[in-house]
């Protein structure tokens, strides 16, 4: 009989967000009239920017005509999009990134998991705790860990605690690590990394020949001056970092699917015989073998994000979500609960009232207030006793959620 990949048996039974969905479904099946407000998974609620819709329509019409029809596109993405990204997201911030270093894909979640294909099994991995669960789960899947301990931590990984005490900014690891996942603005805490903090990580990576896997999916939510939007704003990062970005939270593409990964040509890693090999060509090989590119209309829609009107529309939608975040943050704080994040990110991170465990608070909030959030412990053991609320919602629901929350506590 065929054998499975036994590493999958080490994973928690369900991925975090489907597990939340399962519990909410059980509740709504039993309480069909309850008006449940969902602030769990960070999924956008506002429609696509009109500039993106217009580009989608136009590109679709091109596909209806033989002379402008397109089949397979370049696996790495069309030049029009790669150039727009390089110019607007990087060169405008004085980051030395060119179009050929950008790989367009159908999502950062996929890229963050798939990137492990090109790194050896014996790398030591450091991961923030709490953080987006995909980093841990994909390392479990490829066999880099043992079986989880009672607190959910996997032997074989180096955890970087992000706590209230360290301002959710982890210390450097005390041992030498090879791959370091950093997520800023952070999911789930909604906090950001200062230039000094990122400089410390880049210096560590350069000194230890490590590679930083920098997830900047929420970059567009940075409102405070002086906070780096890209790891490449830090000198030396071209030699030690890969950056993941997405149009999902920036422009409402969670259902449309478009993202990109930046791999500078200067980034090197060692082969088994100790010589250096560039990572860019490996990822290019992987991408061309396992991926056939994002659809043409979707790439045209993504390009429209950088047009004058597209940029304005995107900015206004982000401002709308950030206003929701402010309402949540202030309203929950008024209820006497400690809150973090929500200024440079669409997530509010709160300390559970009465020191409840994260999942116990989830159940209480769902049953009593018909509100759905995400238990902090689902993001790592340091998230126990915390809870995440997403600001992706209508204004009406946000105001109603604050009201219900205040009545609960």
Map tokens 């890209």 to a residue.
230
Length, in residues, of the chain: 409
Q: How far is the CB of 314 from ligand MLT (least distance, A)?
A: 17
Q: How far is the CB of 109 from ligand MLT (least distance, A)?
A: 5
**How does DSSP assign 241-298, residue by residue?**
EEEEEESHHHHS-TTT--EEEE--TT-EEE-TTS-EEEHHHHHHHHHHHH-----HHH
**How does DSSP assign 133-155, residue by residue?**
THHHHHHHHTT------TTSPPT
Q: How far is the CB of 263 from ligand MLT (least distance, A)?
A: 21
Q: How far is the CB of 214 from ligand MLT (least distance, A)?
A: 16
Q: Nearer to ligand MLT by C-beta: 190 or 353?
A: 190
Q: Do 124 and 280 meet the contact criterion of CB atoms below 8 Å apart?
A: no
Closest CA to 122 of 173, 175, 178: 178
Q: How far is the CB of 132 from ligand MLT (least distance, A)?
A: 6
Q: Which residues bind ligand MLT (CB under 6 A)?
A: 41-43, 109, 132, 187
The DSSP bridge pattern shows strands 268-270 and 125-129 to be: unpaired
Q: Nearer to ligand MLT by C-beta: 95 or 322?
A: 322
For helices 50-63 and 296-304, the axis angle rounded to 10 degrees is: 150
Q: Do 357 and 151 meet the contact criterion of CB atoms below 8 Å apart?
A: no
Closest CA to 185 of 212, 211, 224, 149: 224
Cβ-proximal residue to ligand MLT, closest one: 42
Note the Cα 329 to chain centre separation in Å.
Answer: 21
Q: Nearer to ligand MLT by C-beta: 19 or 239?
A: 19
Give φ, ψ of 328 to 5 degrees: -65, -50
Q: How far is the CB of 110 from ligand MLT (least distance, A)?
A: 10
Q: Nearer to ligand MLT by C-beta: 76 or 250?
A: 250
Q: Nearer to ligand MLT by C-beta: 78 or 132?
A: 132
Q: How far is the CB of 246 from ligand MLT (least distance, A)?
A: 8
Q: Nearer to ligand MLT by C-beta: 178 or 243?
A: 243
């Amino acid at each position: 009989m065929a054998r499975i990949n036994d590493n999958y048996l080490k994973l928690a039974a369900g991925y975090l967000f489907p597990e939340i969905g399962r519990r909410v479904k059980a509740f709504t099946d039993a309480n069909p009239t309850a008006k449940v407000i969902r602030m769990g998974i960070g999924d956008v609620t506002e429609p696509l920017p009109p500039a993106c819709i217009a580009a989608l329509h136009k590109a679709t019409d091109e596909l209806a005509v033989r002379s402008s029809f397109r089949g397979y596109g370049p696996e790495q993405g069309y030049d029009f999009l790669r150039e727009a990204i390089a110019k607007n997201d990087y060169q405008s911030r004085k980051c030395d990134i060119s179009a050929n270093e950008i790989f367009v894909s159908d999502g950062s979640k996929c890229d963050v998991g798939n990137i492990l294909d090109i790194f050896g099994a014996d790398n030591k991995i450091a991961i923030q705790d709490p953080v987006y669960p995909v980093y841990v789960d994909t390392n479990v899947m490829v066999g880099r860990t043992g079986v989880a301990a009672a607190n959910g931590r996997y032997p074989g990984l180096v955890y970087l605690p992000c706590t209230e005490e360290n301002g959710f900014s982890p210390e450097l690891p005390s041992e030498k690590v090879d791959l370091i996942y950093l997520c800023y603005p952070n999911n789930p805490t909604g906090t950001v990394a200062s230039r000094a903090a990122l400089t410390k990580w880049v210096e560590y990576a350069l000194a230890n020949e490590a590679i930083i896997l920098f997830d900047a999916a929420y970059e567009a939510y940075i409102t405070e001056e002086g906070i780096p939007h890209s790891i490449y704003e830090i000198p030396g990062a071209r030699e030690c970092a890969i950056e993941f970005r997405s149009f999902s939270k920036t422009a409402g593409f969670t259902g449309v699917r478009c993202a990109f990964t930046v791999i500078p040509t200067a980034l090197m890693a060692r082969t088994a015989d100790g010589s250096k090999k560039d990572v860019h060509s490996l990822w290019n090989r992987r991408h061309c073998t396992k991926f056939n590119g994002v659809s043409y209309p979707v790439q045209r829609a993504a390009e429209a994000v950088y047009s004058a009107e597209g940029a304005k529309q995107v900015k206004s939608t982000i401002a709308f979500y950030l206003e929701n975040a402010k309402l949540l943050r202030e309203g929950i704080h008024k209820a006497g609960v400690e809150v973090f994040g929500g200024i440079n990110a669409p997530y509010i991170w709160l300390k559970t009232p009465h020191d409840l465990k994260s999942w116990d608070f989830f159940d209480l909030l769902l049953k009593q207030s018909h509100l759905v959030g995400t238990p902090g412990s689902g993001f790592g053991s340091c998230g126990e006793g915390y809870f995440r609320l997403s600001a992706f919602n209508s204004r009406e629901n946000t105001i109603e959620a604050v009201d219900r929350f205040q009545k609960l506590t």
